[in-house]
Chains A and B, each alone.
Chain A
């Protein structure tokens, strides 16, 4: 069953067309990676999925409903996103940031109840952030902040989790923990994951499906073995790579030829 679908989507910022005629679908509890060079429209595509941006042409559907017909609060219960970075002017504790993930589930004039706190506790436990729950968000390192934002996105209890370069600041231990967590959530809660990354080997190793974007169009889509080829990399990234097979799960693996 598909949970995200895009049909012939166009989007532009003013004169500058960023997404042209993009169609794809993502099945429930599928892990999809979006790769492509800088400025190819990866982040814009994520924002089209969570309805922050609406397509000029075509339509994007989430759980069988057009994103244009959702209220912000409704769609925030279905789709959460982990942004690249967030800046904070006022002091908040890490725990308070994660608690804000419960916002779409709360009404006006409401406070979090025991259930909300236990969801937040679980999200922080899973992202290894409990140890600095009572520290100021601003005082954390980039990797720690990233994990807090991941915890916030999990506290939203989404059906679709969007990740924008979320492993970029994580050390090896936390990268591994995070990837394991994603697979666990996929199996346990049928969580659907769409992630943007520049790390092609990471995408090849962990994604069920890869979307290769090239100047706003889908250049290739399919399983890693179909998309990651020396020819595609040459066409899209203008680099020569050697593609062989990874030893762990036989996924394609690239090496930059210098």
Chain B
């Protein structure tokens, strides 16, 4: 693997992502002409954000934040999937299976119930705490006497924690009034429409910082997927590397889940497709999964806006509708 090949493929996928974003900006319940979009983006790039028409207003304040947010969320979930699958040596693992997304969800819903939404970043902070507590639980329950993270026990612990969180979420749902109920259920199925610019910026910051930190470990991931023993033999300090990867990835994912809700299956589908196309070297896999994941969620979100026009579907419905069959297809295939 060479740096120039990674760069070439990544640039190509970045180009595809940008093209998809432009298409997504144009379609919706109000059709916006290409000329209007390009003129507005050209203006915005030179620092002029003044808005002259209703179409421009729709692009600037409704579609553009949403499209960018979809990109960030898709990238985070896909990279998270890549890392968790490598750490657990299991192509079916992702933040959802491990219960980390569930932990963030319980945190966020607790926030909605106790009215934390009136504080700035109140809900994301609680979600973040929920995810952290989950990671802590994973360590305590699945970690052995010396804190070694066993592959299978970690996965099983995730399943148990998930079951517990599902019960907790149902408990909260039975407590709340119909107004909150609607916002919680929409959030549980994934909602990209409500993020404000500040929150999108926060998610983007987490993505870039997290990706930068994780990408430095890409070479170690290649060895870790061959088992802890091989990784040790070839010079990886497994006991330090594994918790570090787990914590950074969990933080990145929990912020995203707090802001976007539960969007499933992206973290399983995207890494697998990219492995088929580009192989398993994580130095290639991580950037292409991030970019393809971003494109994938932009497409899914666009579909969620246009399929049932003028009403909208939660984007999690779209990802689950393609993801669940894909999951079964993966299970049935002999070679992963």
Residues of A participating in the B interface, judged by any CB pair closer than 8 Å: 50, 52, 71-77, 80-81, 83, 86-93, 96, 99-101, 103-104, 106, 108-112, 138, 156
Cross-interface CB contact of B233 among A81, A99, A111, cutoff 8 Å: A81
Total A-B residue contacts, Cβ distance less than 8 Å: 87
Residues in chain B near residue A103, CB distance under 8 A: 219-220, 222-223, 234-236
How far, in Å, is A192 (CB) from chain B's closest CB? 17
* Segment of B132-140, B275-283, B314-322 in the binding face: B275-283
A96 close to B279 (CB less than 8 A): yes
Q: Chain A residues near B215 (CB, 8 Å)?
A: 109
How does the 8 Å CB contact mask read for B308-336 relative to A, with 1 for contact and 0 for none? Answer: 00000000000000000000000000011
Within 8 Å by CB of A89, from B222, B229, B336, lies B336
Contact of A111 (CB < 8 Å), options: B2, B86, B227, B229:
B2
One of B2, B237, B279, B283 near A71 (C-beta < 8 A): B237
Residue of A nearest to B271 (CB): A90
Interface residues of chain B, those whose CB is within 8 Å of chain A, are 1-3, 6, 86, 89-91, 215-217, 219-220, 222-223, 225-227, 229-230, 232-237, 275, 279-281, 283, 335-336
Among the listed B2, B229, B235, B281, which residue makes an inter-chain contact with A83, where contact means beta carbons less than 8 Å apart? B229
Which of B1, B86, B229, B235 has the most chain A CB within a 10 Å cutoff?
B235
CB-CB nearest in chain B for A81: B233
> Which residues in B have their C-beta under 8 angstroms from that of A80?
233-234
Residues of B within 8 A of A88 (CB): 225-226
A246 to chain B, nearest CB (A): 34
Please determine whether A90 and B233 come into contact, CB atoms closer than 8 angstroms.
Answer: no
In whole Å, how far is A160's beta carbon from the nearest beta carbon of chain B?
12
Interface pair B336/A76, CB less than 8 Å apart: no
Residues of A within 8 A of B283 (CB): 111
| Contact across chains for A93 and B279 when beta carbons are under 8 A apart | yes
Question: Would A86 and B235 count as touching, CB distance under 8 A?
Answer: no
CA distance A91 to B226 in the complex (A): 11
CB contacts (< 8 Å) of A89 on chain B: these are 89-91, 225, 336
A106-B219, A108-B216, A111-B3 given; A100·B234 CB < 8 A: yes
Q: Which residues of A contact B219 (CB under 8 A)?
A: 103, 106, 108, 110
How far apart sit A99 and B220, CA to CA, in the bound complex (Å)? 13
A100 adjacent to B279 (CB under 8 Å): no
Q: Is the CB of B226 within 8 A of A72?
A: no
B90 closest partner in A (C-beta): A89
CA gap between A160 and B59 in the complex, in Å: 64
Contact B335 A138 (CB under 8 A): yes
Q: Are A112 and B1 in contact (CB under 8 A)?
A: yes
Whole-angstrom CA separation of A138 from B223 in the bound complex: 15
- B233 and A109 within 8 A (CB): no
> How distant is A96 from chain B, measured CB to nearest CB, in Å?
6
Residues of B within 8 Å of A99, CB to CB, are: 1
Per a CB cutoff under 8 Å, which of B217, B225, B236, B237 touches A90? B225
Distance between A134 CB and nearest chain B CB, rounded to angstroms = 11
The 8 closest A-B pairs by CB, nearest first: A76-B235, A104-B235, A108-B216, A73-B235, A90-B280, A72-B237, A111-B3, A72-B235
Query: B residues within 8 A CB of A50?
Result: 233
Query: In the docked arrangement, what's the CA distance between A91 and B232, Å?
Result: 20
